[in-house]
Amino acid sequence: MILDSKRGDVGNTAERYAIEAFERYGADAVTVNPYLGRDSLEPFLKYADKGVIILCRTSNPGSRDLQDLEVSSGRKLYQVVADLAAREWNSRGNCLLVVGATYPRELAEVREIVGTMPFLVPGVGAQGGDVAAAVSSGQTADGTGLVISSSRGILYAGTDGDFSAAARSATQTLRDQINASRTASAR
């Protein structure tokens, strides 16, 4: 279970949010916001057997406002976040990155930076991201590395009595679309 609470707070408070996520709610992984830096992430990272999913290049239009700013190293901010995650924050091997399906080029760029680190990929379904483009841009060499999330596209696939059948059907369709776009060796 992923707790998508996008936490980002100073160390003392982050300690309590980590307890909330992993001990109170028993989440397997939690999403976190990197704007407050290392000490805001460390309380989550130290749960070595839990996943820490760091916002990198998000699926929404406003992601351009800060995440695409070019910093003095010539990289964009989201690329710096990817690099920090790969080089520093992932020392226990439990980091993932949020990279939106709505931006396939950025998916490929982040994949280039972080090697085989898994991505949580929102933005298919209601947000309009193309599944085939997201998979081909974001997958690892062996056709894995993506946790593709559709929320509204499945939750609201049907209404009233057909809810469960429609949700099942939407889920199966998405699964098949994903698998059809993976590298041949992984299918």
Burial (CB < 10 A; 0-12, 13-18, 19+), residue 165, is exposed
Using rule CB under 8 A, residue 43 touches a second copy: no
Number of Cα atoms under 13 Å in the Cβ half of residue 162: 7
Using rule CB under 8 A, residue 40 touches a second copy: yes
> In this structure, what token pair is assigned to residue 187?
């299918």
Using rule CB under 8 A, residue 9 touches a second copy: yes
Q: Which residue has the tokens 């980002």?
A: 8
**SS3 state of residue 137:** helix
- Residue 28 dihedral angles phi and psi, to the nearest 5°: -85, -25
For the question of residue 6 being annotated catalytic, the response is yes
User: Using CB under 8 A as the criterion, what x/- string covers residues 73-112 for binding a second copy?
Assistant: ----x--xx--x----------------------------
Distances in Å between the Cα of 18 and the Cα atoms of 1, 26, 29, 65, 134 are 15, 10, 10, 28, 30
Nearer to a second copy, 90 or 139 (CB): 90
Out of 66, 165, 180, 186, which residue is the one contacting a second copy (CB under 8 A)?
Answer: 66
Size of the site for a second copy (CB under 8 A): 39
Catalytic residue selected from 6, 46, 50, 76: 6
Residues noted as catalytic: 6
Residue numbers of the site for a second copy (CB under 8 A)? 6-12, 33-41, 55, 58-67, 69-72, 77, 80-81, 84, 122, 126-127, 152
